Amino acid sequence: MELEPAVTSAPPTAAPTAEAPAQAPAKLEPPGAPGSRLRRLYEWADERLGLTELRKFAAKKTVPEHRHAFWYYWGGISLFLFIVQVLTGVLLLVYFRPGPEAYDSVRRITYEIHFGWLVRSAHSWSANLMVFAVFVHMFSAGLMKAYRKPREFTWWSGVVLLLLTLGFGFSGYLLTWDEVAYFGTKVGIEVAEKTPVLGRPYANLLRGGPDVNENTLQRFFALHVVIFPLLFMPVLVLHLWLVSKHGNAVPPSEEAKPAARRKSVPFFPNFMMKDLAMWLIALNVIAIFASFFPWQLGSQADPLKPAPVGIHPEWYFMSSFQVLKIFGDWFPGAAGEMFGMAVFTLGLGLWFLLPLFDPSSKNGRRARLATYFILFALAVLVVTTVWGYLAL
Amino acid sequence: MSLSNEQRVELPVVEAPEHPARRVFLKAAAGAVGCVYAGMIGYPVYRYLESPVEKAAAAAAVSEVSLPKADALPPGSALMFKFGAGPALLIHQKDGSWSAMSAVCTHLACTVQYEPERDRIFCACHGGVYDPKTGANVSGPPPRPLDQFKVAVGAGSVTVTRG
């Protein structure tokens, strides 16, 4: 009996993007010579999995090529660093113990288990690099106006992923249970506690009591390894699916060009190989940082000991730390933190709603308000971070 | 002043002649680099995961254990103790002699027990039976005797040594 090819549905329609089509896609020859074992294996799998459909989709997919195309890599780099987080995180989970033994288990991982220092350092460095990559990705996507129709949900899911990334950072930071982890978490939650009405119950719930203690560690562990990953994964899938559906956004300067003058490269293999090269660079950067600057462990958290002199938050919270310090100077007492929380909330809300600022502009060039807002946010972030370090 | 895109000169694409040898070399080189990376990641991960195995092996290297007050063990009873990584049995026989052996069944590593009323060592998992004096496998599935240790009874303690 002659088997009909299983491909009955239409191949996935290309995203309605305005980019010029790339060079004609290469012929989709199945692998192996006709009748060969490899060919028959491919055909067997193809009938069941629809491989040809996937290959057609991959062959059709293109990535725009222009002077700002470098910034396209940063989403992929963030994804790679997240994958490193998952893998090293699972490895740490093999020896880490939440609860009263947390500090001892981290000490054991860092100083006793073979290459434990490397796994832990890779996790910490990759976490920091991931936050950095996510910020670069966000600001570059914002400045390229990638959030415009039809990509609003890509932006919104991205903001959610950013917040979860910071949540991962904040919750993971406590798990080592050393002095800086203890005080960092204490101060971080204390700030949220200054929110009127809801602040205190929320802070108590987060801490599992009126103060940071072993309950806090246990629930931060649950957040860090179960809750946040459960929330992160589906949003990440949505984000990637939307990127795949709509294709890469092109900046207004590219859009202004006539279609015939725009260039693009096939996603597979051209862009993917470059993407993988970036991943390799990221891997090497992690390896270099983790090997030459391994993460250390401070002395065990002790609620009866004073905070160590010169204690400061991780760089990605330095900006908000400094902003709160400035507001604290302006408004004495809890008013400073309250004002700070209000400003952060407002800023985040505006950031989230960014796609709605320039809904009507055809090419985005006139949407100066959004550009100024992004540049202002970037400037505030950089200036207050540098200021924070100078003021230490 | 930089050239804008409009002014950029399009270079003609020259078809590179096929170099099968170069292609083969590059493929092999890429494969080799890939293997090096896989090794550089795989080796630390393997050592990381097998760390406790190494520690257990070091613990198992113990060759002597002193059991305080074990000399007071009445005849016809046994004491379980840790010898190296695994459990071991010290038996004060009814006839007053002493024996010590590994309590790990040679069949599938269950922990065996001394049954004075039937004068045997029994493994509850699959019914293996050993001789309580020599540790010899008497019946059931065990393929070989229990590992035998030397016993030295002193005043106030018993010392067990790997034979």
Question: With 50 as the cut, is the pLDDT of residue A331 above it?
Answer: yes
ipTM for the complex?
0.84
Query: What 3-state class would DSSP assign to A224?
Result: helix
Res B101 pLDDT > 50: yes
Q: Quote the Cα angle for B118-B122-B128, to 5°.
A: 125
Q: Residues A223-251, buried b or exposed e (16+ Cβ, 10 A)?
A: bbbeebbebbeebbebbeebbebbbbbbb
Q: Shortest CA distance to A264 belongs to which of A121, A62, A60? A: A62
Is the confidence at residue A381, as pLDDT, over 60? Answer: yes
Q: How far is B54 from chain A (nearest CA, A)?
A: 10
In CATH, B62-162 is 2.102.10.10: yes
The pLDDT, as a whole number, for residue A4 is 41
User: What pLDDT does B100 receive?
Assistant: 96
Domains of chain A: 70-248+265-307 (1.20.810.10), 312-392 (1.10.287)
Judge whether residue A9 has pLDDT over 50: no
What CA–CA distance (Å, rounded) separates A342 from A199? 12
pLDDT mean across residues, chain A: 88
- Please give the mean pLDDT across all residues of chain B: 89
Q: Please give the average per-residue pLDDT across B134-141, as a whole number.
A: 95
The string of pLDDT tens digits covering residues A137-180 is 999 999 999 998 899 999 999 999 999 999 999 999 999 999 99
Name the residue facing A113 among B5, B37, B51 (closest C-beta): B51
Segment A330-354 mean pLDDT: 89
Residue A16 has pLDDT above 90, yes or no: no
CA A376 → CA A269, A369, A371, A380, A382, distances in Å? 38, 10, 8, 6, 10
> Per residue in A54-97, pLDDT tens?
888 888 889 999 999 999 999 999 999 999 999 999 999 999 99
* Cα–Cα dist B45/A117, whole Å: 12
Greatest mean pLDDT range, A203-207, A370-374, B53-57: A203-207
Query: Nearest-5° angle of CA B118, CA B122, CA B123?
Result: 160
Higher pLDDT, A369 or A353: A353
% helix / strand / coil in chain A, to the nearest 5? 65, 5, 30
Is there a contact between A148 and A138 (Cβ–Cβ < 8 Å)?
no
Confidence (pLDDT) at A203: 94
Q: Chain A interface, mutation test: which of B26, B40, B51, most A Cβ atoms within 10 Å?
A: B51
Mind telling me how many Å the CA of A115 is from chain B's nearest CA? 6
Identify the pLDDT of residue B30: 93
So what's the pLDDT on residue A19?
Answer: 44
Which tens digits make up the pLDDT trace of B14-67?
666 667 889 899 999 999 999 999 999 999 999 999 999 988 888 788 889 999
Q: What is the CA radius of gyration of chain A?
A: 25
CB contact (8 A) between residue B51 and residue A116: yes
The full set of domain ranges for chain B reads 19-49, 62-162
Place of tokens 């984000």: A239
CA dist B119 and B130 (Å) reads 10
Q: What are the tokens at A161?
A: 């992923």
Q: What pLDDT score does A18 carry?
A: 42
Task: Name which of A83, A113, A126, A250 to mutate to probe chain B: the one with the most chain B Cβ atoms within 10 A of its Cβ.
Answer: A113
Percent of chain A with pLDDT over 90: 65
Residue-level pLDDT at A7: 39
DSSP string, B25-77: HHHHHHHHHHHHHHHHHHHHHHHHHTHHHHHHHHHHT--EEEEETGGGPPTTE
For A102-114, write each residue's pLDDT tens digit. 999 999 999 999 9
pLDDT value of position A318: 93
- Asked if the Cβ–Cβ distance from A119 to B48 is below 8 Å, we say yes
State pLDDT tens for residues A95-104. Answer: 999 989 999 9
Residue B3 forms contact with A (CB below 8 Å): no
- Give the whole-angstrom CA distance, residue B112 versus residue B141: 13
Q: Is B39 on the interface with A (CB under 8 A)?
A: no
Other residues' Cβ atoms within 10 Å of the Cβ of residue B68: 9
Token pair belonging to A318: 């330095």
Distance in Å, alpha carbon of B4 to nearest chain A alpha carbon: 10
- pLDDT bin (cut points 50, 70, 90) of residue A366 is low
Contact A114 B50 (CB under 8 A): yes
pTM given for the model: 0.84
